[in-house]
Amino acid sequence: MLCAGHDFAAPRRSDRKAWSVVAVVLRAGLRYEGFQACGCGREPEFRPRTRAQVRARRIAAARTGVPFAEALGRVEPMEAR
């Protein structure tokens, strides 16, 4: 059991593909965080929602040498920070 974060919206129970994406994100050490409970916090960070987005970020991480967890948090996988 892991705490996924305050901004986690669980996919449907039967959506195995979406749950596999959630598992990859959590296994990478990322959480679904963003807004604070009071509403004065920062914007929610990007997290992939599809297997294609995960695959693109895995390829980008391998090509650029960026850690996979960092690549997962990017809106555009090949962008530099």
Task: Give 37-60 pLDDT, tens digit per residue.
Answer: 555 666 778 899 999 999 999 999
8-state DSSP, 25: H
8-state DSSP, 8: -
Does pTM top 0.85 for this prediction? no
> What's the CA gap between 11 and 17, in Å, rounded?
9
Q: Which residue has the higher pLDDT, 7 or 64?
A: 64
How confident is the model over 1-40, as pLDDT tens digits? 778 887 888 999 999 999 999 999 999 999 888 755 555 6
Who's near 51: CB < 8 A, 6+ residues apart? 17, 20, 21
